[in-house]
Amino acid sequence: MRKKKPTLPEPMNRLASPFPIGDASESATDAESLLQHLPWGVVVLSAQGTVMRLNQQAATWWGAPQQDLQGQPLEQGLGKGLLPADLQQALQQVTSSDQRPFREFFLPHCQQWVTMASARHADNWVVYWQDITAQKHGEHLHQAQQTASDTLLRRTEAVANIGSYELELATGHLYFSDGLFRLLGEEPGAFTPTSALLDARSHTEDIVLVEQVLARAVADRRPYSYQRRIYRPDGQLRLLEAHGRVECNELGQPVKLLGLVQDITERQQAAQELLRVKDELAQRAAESYATLYNTMDEGFCVLEVLFDEAQQAIDYRFLDVNPAFEKHTGLYKAQGKTIRELVPTIEPLWADVYSRVSRSGEPSRFEANVESMSRWFDINAFPIGTLPDRHVAVLFTDITARKQTEQALRESDDRLRQAVELAHLGICSWDYRQHLMRGNDERFLMLGLDPSQEVLPLAQAMALTHPDDRAMWASIHHQVETRGEFQATYRIVRHNDGVVRWLSEVGRVVEWQRNKPMRVSSVLLDVTAHHEAAEALRRSEEQFRLLVTATSDTVYRMSPNWTHMEHLIGKDFLADALSPTPTWTEEYIPTTDQPRVQAAIAEAISRKIPFELEHRVLRADGTVGWTHSRAIPVLDEQNTLTGWLGAASDVTARKQAQQQLLAFNADLERQVLERTRALVESQARLQSVFDSTTTAVTLLRAVRDGQGLLVDFEYVLVNAVTQARYPGQSLIGQRHGELHPGSYHTVILERFVAVVETGRRADFEVYYDHEGYNHWFRLVGVKLGDGLLYTAEDITARKLLEQAQIKSYTLLQESEAVAGMGSWDYDLGTQQLMWSDGLYRLLDRPVGSPVRLQHFLDAVVDDDRTTAGHLIRILTAGTSSFDTLLRLRVGDEVKTVRFKAVLLPAAPGAPERVLGVCLDVSDVQRLEAENLALKLDQHKELLLAILQAQENERQRLAEVLHNGLGQVLYATKLHLDQLGTPTLLALPALASLHQQTARLLADAMQQTRTLAHELVPTSLVEYGLAAAVRDVCRDLSTPQLRVECHIWGEPQHLPQPIQVTLFRLAQELVHNIVRHAGASQATLELEILPNGVSLRAEDNGHGFDAQEAAEGLGLRTVRDAVALLGGTVAIDSSPEFGTHIRLRIPLPLFS
């Protein structure tokens, strides 16, 4: 908007001298003082150009003292001062020229602007200088601001692709901004804008529409908007949208149109492209649905619920089924048949379930076991079609395998829980960042704490550690942060009884964040017994050393290969060997016994078994005796021989007692027999354990070639599950590779060989498609001797389920990306929320970042926050499903998102999770709003046209009554008056008839005037609706009927069509009361409401039948008029209380 230029002082063309000129008298002292203190400069020149007088301000601007200038010729005085050349020239022209222009001058020596004016006084000239420095600064500032404003406007128009215009209504002058020239494809100022030129460039269909919009805007003095298609010089057709207002003068008369224009071609094209894309997506969705229907793994059917005469569900008929239906149910050619025709033994509850869905209209999702089919199904039933059809759609999946797997998992969890309880293991979950630990009951019982404590602070755990072992925690922290796992053994002092216990703890980091451990899981075992055993072993070794010293048996130590006797304490039985002796065999073993001893030693070395032999020895006294020698191998952690420890007893006397030796042998044979029998029983028990498990278990022995390489496996032991796969065939003794040659082409044989050769356990999954299997297996193998024991579990069902889940997840991601939607899953038990990738994109958050319910609430706009909080409470309580719209602020835009959630029960009636979807419907909402606004505008225009047509017709009828029928009746009266002659009056019958006719004619003329007045309500036009309604009540009141009128609010602000309609309705209601009610009192109330108008009429008459009266012309006219405005009519009538009619008319259409 341009600022007004500051007003400069009016030029002083006609000035009078404010002080005496010429010789001054003593009485002029006051005038002289006033002259010297004036803020203007005043110079008096004689006609000859002499400086007669000047005040102090003039001397200051002149740049010379007063006394040096007064009385001096002007030429000399100008030479003494600092006046600029243009001002000097202007002073010289004062006395020499008749032209005395009003000019502005700049004084450089004092940096001021002045204006100069002059006037003649007697024979002298008076020159006035006035300071305008402040005005000049304001003018410069205004010019700079105006330049900046124009620059900003041009930049704004260029950036926003907009322009503006002004249209003078009186002159038709049209002004275009630079931006509007560019919108028309022209350079600014390329042509002189006119309405005709603009119409010539416009699309022909838009010219009349734009003229109508502008005409209505000028008539109503209201803001306006329109769209106009224009052709640019290069032939482009562009769509422009204009918004403007009418500017009025002080009298309220429109004088100018101001408008802002924007090029919306691309936006319109984008909207059309969006509609095209939506249509294309809808077509693709229909095609995808048909493909999905025939190829999806889930079974689907549409059925009709059948009821008996008592409306009890008794059966249901299949109207449509997909191919997967037959695969899951085993029911073939089911379409058109009832379930009892297909499965006569079907449980009755299914008909009841589908009956509830069809009657209530609510979907039902549940899992159920169909005993007649021996299968479990996940079923989603929902109504389709209209309620009388009783049709239900059922989407279901066979989850028998999953149920069996869940049962197996529960049993496995029970076994694991029992194992943990039997082993007395403490389980701990350590929040490493918060220094808090949680564990099972055993964990707290180990520390002597109450398990109800649930949370164990790290400080308390350290405090319960034995003081000598508390340094172990620093090592634990170091292991966790550097290796991600730890091992520690330490003592604790139990809290409840002060007993010291040894604990062994092993843990691993299970959650990292930014390379820092967040959560650690560990297992604790009370190893007090182990430490006590170790301590007992130490004491036992000490006692053993004492025993060796005290025993009479010979004790010796040998090298790993028995080449050296490293030490021997003979105890007077054999000669001592206190240093390694390589010739011990010659020194202690008779020559004839050496081969037998060496053979026994060689066997013990090769098998790493204890050496035990009775043989002859050379005793310390040189005689030959018998000894019972026994040595055990000493092995390191790698199972390598490091030496032998042995003891030898003098059994010479026993050898001599042969009888005792035979008895000993008999007893030994008996023990061997018993042990053999126990071994057979143990093997039988092992076989029964194998046969009782549901997993295939097989024991294989390695088959090696001449170089010792493992080339195959031989079956040693199998359980019943394994044997069942080979009916009529014995597996024991057969080669694995011969039965399964396909294993040479998979990783199975390679992994089995690695188990035997390395001793490491193998656990892997493999797809085996040889020998007609085509199954997935999980194989677990452990080394057992020179072979392995492995289990084989058929996991085909689980693998197929995983593949289906992956496929479904991929389809969900693609659907979310196309539809602009996302899904979420809320666990009611753990209160954890998970988002799909589509929801992360929809709400503009990093994919995979942590999410909480608060994120939904933070994004909601303030107006929807109450609704969002209510939905959050419903969601966390898990009480019901919901489907609603919320507006979310995402970045710089506000999106309208549809939130829909359903409960997913773990079992019927027990909700466990809430599954929801979020769909961006912003474009849909916007298009619907635009469509609604367009429809409202069209309805408003139609309504205004109807109302205007009605008023025009009433005005025409009023003119016909007044100018036509009224004139005819008046002429008739004139003729009738001429008949009133004395001759006529002499006849009584004719005189009476003449009077009656005159009275009827007068009544007809009065009713004609009244009707014409009612058809054209002049009081409504001149005084407003309130006065017009009060006139209706006053004019129609009679001595027998008093009509009271009440007006609430300010009806003058209502739109003119509404005022006219309300006046007509008030007329009709009061007329009906006067004509038909037979009442003595009546009330008419008009109330202006925030969003509508209420008109109420009430009387104490005899009432009427609302049904019969509805057919009458009066009430039908009222109903039609109110319905046309989108309002409602309420009627309450009875003989006792009279009639009450209330009309309500909404106003948003005219807002």
What pLDDT does 100 receive?
A: 61
959 exposed, middle or buried (CB, 10 Å; 0-12, 13-18, 19+)?
Answer: middle
Whether the pLDDT of residue 237 is over 60: the answer is yes
Tens of pLDDT, residues 328-363: 888 888 899 998 888 888 888 788 888 888 888 889
Please tell me the distance from the alpha carbon of residue 603 to that of residue 1080, in angstroms, as a whole number.
Answer: 137
Rounded to the nearest 5°, which phi and psi values hold at 132?
Answer: -120, 25
Q: Is the separation of the CB atoms in 687 and 695 below 8 Å?
A: no
What pLDDT does 7 receive?
A: 44
683 found inside a domain: no
For residues 1023 and 1151, membership in a common domain is answered with yes
Give the closest residue to 188 by CA, choosing from 175, 202, 172: 175
Whether the pLDDT of residue 664 is over 70: the answer is no
Lowest mean pLDDT among 436-440, 902-906, 934-938: 934-938
C-alpha of 109 from chain center: 72
Neighbours of 1141 (CB within 10 A): 21
Residues pairing with 696 in the sheet: 792
Q: Is the separation of the CB atoms in 559 and 566 below 8 Å?
A: yes
Residue that has been written with the tokens 């602020």 in this structure: 889
Tens of pLDDT, residues 87-108: 888 888 888 766 566 688 999 8
Please tell me the distance from the alpha carbon of residue 185 to that of residue 19, in angstroms, as a whole number.
Answer: 67
Question: Which two structure tokens, joined as six digits, stand for 836?
Answer: 């799909």
Give the closest residue to 1097 by CA, choosing from 1113, 1108, 1010, 1114: 1114
Name the domain boundary from 1015, 1044, 1060.
1015
Please tell me the distance from the alpha carbon of residue 410 to that of residue 412, in angstroms, as a whole number.
Answer: 5
Q: Is the separation of the CB atoms in 74 and 64 below 8 Å?
A: no
What pLDDT does 19 receive?
A: 43
866 exposed, middle or buried (CB, 10 Å; 0-12, 13-18, 19+)?
Answer: exposed
Read off the pLDDT band of 465 (50, 70, 90).
very high
Residue that has been written with the tokens 């006033």 in this structure: 34
Please tell me the distance from the alpha carbon of residue 395 to that of residue 324, in angstroms, as a whole number.
Answer: 10
Question: Taking residues 810-838, what's their average pLDDT?
Answer: 76
Give the closest residue to 1017 by CA, choosing from 1007, 1008, 1027: 1027
Whether the pLDDT of residue 1112 is over 80: the answer is no
What pLDDT does 24 receive?
A: 41
Give how far Cα 286 sits from Cα of 323, 807, 811, Å: 18, 20, 16
Tens of pLDDT, residues 552-596: 678 888 999 988 888 888 777 888 888 888 888 888 899 998 899
Q: Is the separation of the CB atoms in 1122 and 1129 below 8 Å?
A: yes
CATH for 1113: 3.30.565.10
Tens of pLDDT, residues 621-651: 888 888 888 999 988 878 888 899 888 888 8
Domain total in the chain: 9
For residues 1027 and 1148, membership in a common domain is answered with yes
Whether the pLDDT of residue 1 is over 50: the answer is no
Q: Is the separation of the CB atoms in 84 and 63 below 8 Å?
A: no
Q: Is the separation of the CB atoms in 420 and 524 below 8 Å?
A: no
Q: Is the separation of the CB atoms in 301 and 322 below 8 Å?
A: yes
For residues 1027 and 1140, membership in a common domain is answered with yes
The DSSP line for 1012-1071 is HHHHS-HHHHHH-HHHHHHHHHHHH--SS-EEEEEEES-GGGS-HHHHHHHHHHHHHHHH
Own/partner pairs for 1109-1114, CB < 8 Å, 24+ apart? 1109/1133, 1114/1068, 1114/1071, 1114/1072, 1114/1076
3-state secondary structure 321-373: ECHHHHHHHCCCCCCCCEHHHHCCCCCCHHHHHHHHHHHHCCCEEEEEEECCC
Per-position b or e across 132-146, b if 16+ CB within 10 A of its CB:
beebbeeeeeeeeee
Q: Is the separation of the CB atoms in 742 and 770 below 8 Å?
A: yes
Please tell me the distance from the alpha carbon of residue 461 to that of residue 449, in angstroms, as a whole number.
Answer: 11
For residues 964 and 1067, membership in a common domain is answered with no
Rounded to the nearest 5°, which phi and psi values hold at 114?
Answer: -135, 155
What pLDDT does 891 receive?
A: 84
Q: Is the separation of the CB atoms in 501 and 530 below 8 Å?
A: no
Rounded to the nearest 5°, which phi and psi values hold at 373?
Answer: -110, -5
Among 151-160, 283-292, 667-676, 718-727, the range of highest mean pLDDT: 718-727
Neighbours of 631 (CB within 10 A): 21
Name the domain boundary from 405, 433, 465.
405
Name the domain boundary from 886, 920, 954.
920
Give the closest residue to 1069 by CA, choosing from 1079, 447, 353: 1079
Please tell me the distance from the alpha carbon of residue 410 to that of residue 216, in angstroms, as a whole number.
Answer: 78
What pLDDT does 1092 receive?
A: 86
Give the closest residue to 214 by CA, choosing from 170, 236, 245: 245
62 found inside a domain: yes
For residues 206 and 232, membership in a common domain is answered with yes
C-alpha of 342 from chain center: 47
Residue that has been written with the tokens 């042990």 in this structure: 675
Rounded to the nearest 5°, which phi and psi values hold at 912?
Answer: -120, -35
Tens of pLDDT, residues 979-1005: 666 666 667 777 777 777 778 877 777
For residues 455 and 575, membership in a common domain is answered with no
Give the closest residue to 458 by CA, choosing from 441, 445, 442, 439: 439
Among 315-329, 893-907, 922-936, the range of highest mean pLDDT: 315-329
Residues with Cβ within 8 Å of 327's Cβ and at least 6 positions away in sequence, in order, are 299
Please tell me the distance from the alpha carbon of residue 376 to that of residue 370, in angstroms, as a whole number.
Answer: 6
CATH for 173: 3.30.450.20
For residues 835 and 913, membership in a common domain is answered with yes
End-to-end CA distance of the chain: 28
Give the closest residue to 1044 by CA, choosing from 1053, 1035, 1052, 1034: 1034
Whether the pLDDT of residue 939 is over 90: the answer is no
> Cα-atom radius of gyration of the chain, to the nearest Å?
57
For residues 526 and 648, membership in a common domain is answered with no
Neighbours of 115 (CB within 10 A): 19
What pLDDT does 1063 receive?
A: 84
The DSSP line for 369-412 is EETTTTEEEEEEEEEES-GGGTEEEEEEEE-HHHHHHHHHHHHH
1096 found inside a domain: yes
Average model confidence (pLDDT) for the chain?
82
What pLDDT does 101 receive?
A: 60
For residues 1040 and 1136, membership in a common domain is answered with yes
Tens of pLDDT, residues 920-931: 888 777 777 777
Tens of pLDDT, residues 705-725: 988 899 899 998 888 888 888
For residues 1093 and 1128, membership in a common domain is answered with yes
What pLDDT does 1137 receive?
A: 84
686 found inside a domain: no
Rounded to the nearest 5°, which phi and psi values hold at 255?
Answer: -125, -20
876 found inside a domain: yes
For residues 400 and 489, membership in a common domain is answered with no
Lowest mean pLDDT among 258-262, 426-430, 660-664, 1035-1039: 660-664
pTM to 2 decimal places: 0.28
Give the closest residue to 107 by CA, choosing from 82, 128, 77, 132: 82
Tens of pLDDT, residues 408-460: 888 877 776 776 666 678 888 889 888 888 888 888 888 888 888 888 898 88
Read off the pLDDT band of 5 (50, 70, 90).
very low
Please tell me the distance from the alpha carbon of residue 766 to that of residue 1076, in angstroms, as a whole number.
Answer: 95
For 453, which DSSP code?
G
Q: Is the separation of the CB atoms in 129 and 115 below 8 Å?
A: yes
Read off the pLDDT band of 508 (50, 70, 90).
very high
Whether the pLDDT of residue 231 is over 50: the answer is yes
Amino acid 378 reads: D
Whether the pLDDT of residue 683 is over 80: the answer is no
Residues with Cβ within 8 Å of 945's Cβ and at least 6 positions away in sequence, in order, are none
For residues 1025 and 1136, membership in a common domain is answered with yes
156 found inside a domain: no
Question: Which two structure tokens, joined as six digits, stand for 482?
Answer: 């550097």
Q: Is the separation of the CB atoms in 254 and 225 below 8 Å?
A: no
What pLDDT does 898 receive?
A: 87
Per-position b or e across 501-540, b if 16+ CB within 10 A of its CB:
bbbbbebebeeeeeeebeebebbbbbbbeeeeeeeeeeee
20 found inside a domain: no
For residue 49, give its domain range. Answer: 26-138
Residue that has been written with the tokens 């392995």 in this structure: 788
Sequence length of the chain is 1151
418 found inside a domain: no
What pLDDT does 755 receive?
A: 92
Read off the pLDDT band of 1142 (50, 70, 90).
very high
Give the closest residue to 114 by CA, choosing from 247, 186, 12, 204: 12
Give the closest residue to 43 by CA, choosing from 57, 27, 32, 31: 57
Please tell me the distance from the alpha carbon of residue 1121 to that of residue 1118, in angstroms, as a whole number.
Answer: 5
Read off the pLDDT band of 21 (50, 70, 90).
very low
